[in-house]
Amino acid sequence: MERNKKNWDDLIIIVALIVITIVIVYIVTVGKINLIQIIDETNKKTRNEAIRKHERLKIHLDKQKDLKEKLTRKFKRIYFAIRLLFVLGWASGIAILYYYKIVTDLSSFLNYSQATVLLFILLYFLTFGNLTNLNTFLNMIKSRLENWIWGKHINIDKIITINEEELKSLESNM
């Protein structure tokens, strides 16, 4: 029994020495190790990184918005040009008929205009087989034009919204 008591006494002495050593080291180093400063430096680094990321993201977002505006203007111009081309085709056909004195008054003008529309419908029917998908065909022309103009930037709206949300989260964290 004495041996067990001696083991416990030795163990208590070792634990007491370790605790006393930790307390002495803490008291001696209190003035020299500033834990708050170390934490502030790490926060400062992460804050500086967040500020740099915020600035880069803001510049990138501005470039994306400018690109979107540029592509939208380009699409509107080309789509307008295509619609204008159809109208000019019709007007030039009527002008040719007027030049050859086939169209002389308003009733003949309307008759030939209707004939032109019927000709376009006939060509569409012969090409695609039915008239119910005319709106689909016109939307297909518009979507192909969008794909041609927008190209790899077709999802730029989603990317801009994602970047704006990230920018707001960075601003709220700063």
Q: Residue 34 pLDDT > 80, yes or no?
A: no
pLDDT at 41 over 60: no
Structure pTM?
0.55
Render pLDDT for 110-169 as a digit per residue (tens, 0 to 9): 898 888 888 878 887 887 777 677 777 778 888 888 888 888 888 888 888 888 888 888
Residue 85, helix vs strand vs coil: helix
**Domain boundaries defined on the chain:** 68-173
